[in-house]
Structure 1
Amino acid sequence: MEIIRYAELKAQPWRNGGGVTRELARHPEAVSPRDSWDWRVSIAEVSKAGGFSAFPGMERVLTVIDGDLLLLNVDRAEHPLEKYRPFRFSGDADSAGALPTGDIRDLNVITRNGAFKGYTSIIELSKKRAHPVFAGQWGILLQGQAAVSPGSAGGSAAPVELNRYDAVVGSDTATPEILGRGFLAVVSIDRVSDG
């Protein structure tokens, strides 16, 4: 069972000084130039209004996960993004954000067009019914208290407490299961089939 601890992720400052990004996962992992990966999951802290980086040939799903509102301008059309409402747009688009209610934090899922498709769902956790996280998924604790266990195939391992923004990496063998109270983002990245 793999847990990505948010507190251990390195903050990467934006070039325009408007915020920082912490990368949860990307594929392939070993590449260093920004544009050579096929998908990336990250959390950004946005502290200043301004332009967003372009990601040519990519598609983005952005979800406000902390703070009230991001006014996202995409190709001169304004989109008010409220907390926990995923929004999909082209990485090629000219995009900028305004912060009418203060700083926000957002979850970004960026995928290469024609190769992968990303999805973000926000679910309310239950203390009675565990939420499984399958291969190709990440479960990110957004709010509340939760613990993860390796599921029935993983034996009798004790549940592990999650902190805010920790991510559980999905698996189909010992499928992690999350129990608790609060909200979880479930990110799925699917390979686009050729035909």
Structure 2
Amino acid sequence: MHEVVAKKYVGALLSSLDASEIAQIDSALSDIKSAFASSKFVDIINLPSLSAEKKAEFLLSLVECNSTKFSNFLLTLAKAKRLEALPDISKEFSYQKALRDNKFKGAIFSSFELNEASKKELEDKFSKKLNANIEFESKKVDYDGIKIELSDLGFEASFSMNLFKEKLTEHILKAIK
């Protein structure tokens, strides 16, 4: 439900912004989104005794954004009692910004540390293949292989050593029979 609300509010917000304001508001929304991890923050946002104006002022005090459009946006959300949709609004805003800029972030998961040259090569190849600017973050995890994920583009590729060994064994056994 919040996703539908987020799309409408983000569409309205983006249509009123110029290019210089978009990055600043994206950062502010991201900061507010991370504040939702605190239960005290959520309690303050949900206080019925706190006016919409005070809630909007509180949110603005958390971020470094001096845009009157953004403060009006937060006030509109507060008056409409839609502040709980801010994490979804932040996510949708970042996605729309990525589409607009044709710049997407992805992740590379592996059990080994990927060096900068390899990461840069993967970014270049995926950028060329997907006709977009791709930037990867390397994450070391307990995974026997490598997994590349671009969630905004709905793309995922992986190579697992265990699966490779199973398929190779299966192929050899078929060849022997």
TM-score above 0.5, yes or no = no
With structure 2 as the length reference, what TM-score do the two structures score?
0.22
Larger Rg: 2
With structure 1 as the length reference, what TM-score do the two structures score?
0.21
